Amino acid sequence: MVGSGCFAEESVARSRAAMWQFVMFVEVVGLLESASGRHIQLYAQEPDYFPLDEEFLASFDVIVLKHPAAVDVVSSVTFLFCPFVPWKLMLLFLERGDPSLYIGTNVSELLETMEHVWRAEAAETSGVALTDEIGTGSLDDYRSAARRFLTGRKEYSVPRSDLNVPALHGLKLYWACKPD
């Protein structure tokens, strides 16, 4: 789980959102463990965790990783739960780890937005570098990463529950399909 937000946040709305996202994460892990008959090691990374957040996660046997260590544990057999993290960070995880199951930001919509931005910027300049604390890359690099991730995956919308939880609205599920 990457970018869950803090559970001990002073803002009740943010704390509640983080908690609902954690509930979804734990439920999906439970389903995967039941289906596979195996225990799944859980990891979490969030730059703003408080000590109380880390204690809470430890009570569920979740290992808290410091940024950027989570990138190194994501692989092709990973379930990556990445609800609404910054798009560059999300694409970094998807590119480097190629998780078989991903729940998070809508990658297709992100790619469409990048295509639109790229066309607008292409008229002004080429090779626009995007730099921040996450890293440096051109918009074209990010577009390529999104395209590669979408290849060979099925995309599903996470259904809305009767509880009407805004913190889960808009999440997408991507499942890697075996080639025919």
Pairing of strands 129-132, 135-138: antiparallel
Give residue 145's pLDDT: 86
List the one residue out of 78, 84, 69 whose CA is nearest residue 97: 78
Q: Which value, in Å, is the radius of gyration of the alpha carbons in the chain?
A: 17
Q: Is the pLDDT of residue 167 over 90?
A: no
- Which amino acid belongs to residue 7? F
Residues near 137 by Cβ (< 8 Å), separated by ≥ 6?
88, 129, 130
Give the model confidence (pLDDT) of 96-129 as tens digits.
888 999 999 899 998 888 777 766 766 565 555 5
Q: Is the pLDDT of residue 132 over 60?
A: no
